[in-house]
Amino acid sequence: MHRRTLLAAALAPLAAHGHEPSARQAGLQPAGESLFKVWGFEVYVARLWVAPGFRAADFAAAPLALELAYRRAFSGADIARRSLTEMRRQENFDDTQAARWESQLTALLPDVRAGESLSGLHRPGEGAEFLRGDGRSLGVLRDARFSKLFFGIWLSPRTSEPALRRALLGPFAEAG
């Protein structure tokens, strides 16, 4: 529980760079960040924090935190639906599993407005926790496979956005 508390504190509003020292105290270090655009429209700024010993080739083996600071409004249901589409780029899974994960993710994710952020904490072998920009937990999806595929949206070599992946991995991109 102590580790969870420290990591949750590290994720509390990471959009403000003044909170970066908290992430370091929790044992996470900044890796990289990038503005994600689609057809010229700014969608979000993504920021990645990783644990010591992180290797890009085995990104799912270590704790990490990913923050998305939204530049546009989206419904939680739309975020969940798009996430499942991107997760399928990593690995094929059946429609029953997709429906279960989409339902669980939709229940966890709130609608967001421009200027709001959501963070995800990957817990290797356990699942993913989602947090509001103020650090309050939205809930946990206890499924290691889900968590690996979800964070693979940004970190897997099979991502639909390889430039975003390279920017997020920063100095770790070449190492893995």
3-state secondary structure of 47: strand
Is residue 78 classed exposed, middle or buried when 0-12, 13-18 and 19+ CB atoms within 10 A define those classes? middle
Single pTM value for the model: 0.85
Identify the pLDDT of residue 28: 87
How far is the C-alpha of 174 from the C-alpha of 157, rounded, in Å? 12
Contact present, 155 and 56 (Cβ < 8 Å): yes
Q: Which residues of the chain carry a pLDDT beneath 50?
A: 1-23, 25, 176
Which two structure tokens, joined as six digits, stand for 106?
A: 């939709």
- Do residues 2 and 10 touch, judged by C-beta distance below 8 A? no
What is the per-residue pLDDT for 1? 36
* Signed CA dihedral, 37, 122, 145, 108: sign only: negative
Please give the pLDDT value at position 173. 84
Is 7:140 a contact under the CB 8 Å cutoff?
no
Instruction: Calculate the dihedral angle through the C-alpha atoms of 175, 142, 118, 64, rounding to the nearest 10 degrees.
Output: -20
State the Cα–Cα distance between residues 129 and 127, nearest whole angstrom. Answer: 7
Indicate the DSSP class of residue 171. Answer: G
